[in-house]
Amino acid sequence: MGRSLLLAMFLAGAVWPQQPKTLQKSRPADQPKAQQQEQEPPEEDESLKPKVYAFNPLEAERDLKVGNYYFKKGNYKAAASRFREATKWNPAYAEAYLRLGESEEKMKDKQAAQEAYAKYLELAPDAKDAEAIKKKLGGKR
């Protein structure tokens, strides 16, 4: 009989409905004002922040290589974007201005092409293709 009573108590404990734990969700109205002010604002997406350019010739070289790839594939808009990035990383990178001018010329944007070519000639006046670029500019230089 002792065993049956023990077994009955054990089974009754297992079968006994368990009370669910109530989770108290804190609502802003329930929190003290000091606690509400201490909460940090949500994180901002890093890609939305404006890019800060500092002199970085490695990034400029990488952008030039990627731009050359896009240029060879015929995607002149993407190529021009990469060449423009390269000029921002290294403003004295003459080849990037030359390639930017070529891309803009392919996209039929003569004004932008002339500006890029003019900057190229300013940075590399003794380049071997300087005469050809001067002809493209219409002898302005």
What is the pLDDT tens value at each position of the chain, 141 positions in all? 777 766 667 666 666 666 555 555 555 555 555 555 666 666 666 666 677 778 889 999 999 999 999 999 999 999 999 999 999 999 999 999 999 999 999 999 999 999 999 999 999 999 999 999 999 888 554
Does residue 94 form part of some domain? yes
Alpha-carbon distances, residue 48 vs 26, 43, 44, 51, 77 (angstroms): 32, 12, 8, 9, 21
What's the domain count of the chain?
1
Q: What is the span of the domain harbouring residue 87?
A: 57-136
CATH number where 98 lies: 1.25.40.10
pLDDT of residue 121: 94
Q: How many residues does the chain have?
A: 141
Per the domain annotation, does 52 fall within a domain?
no
Tokens of residue 91, six digits: 């403003």
Q: What is the pLDDT of residue 66?
A: 97
| Distance separating alpha carbons of residues 98 and 28, to the nearest angstrom | 58
φ, ψ of residue 34 to 5 degrees: the values are: -65, -40
Query: For residue 45, is it within any domain?
Result: no
According to the model, what pLDDT value does residue 141 have? 47
Cβ atoms < 10 Å from Cβ of 6: 10
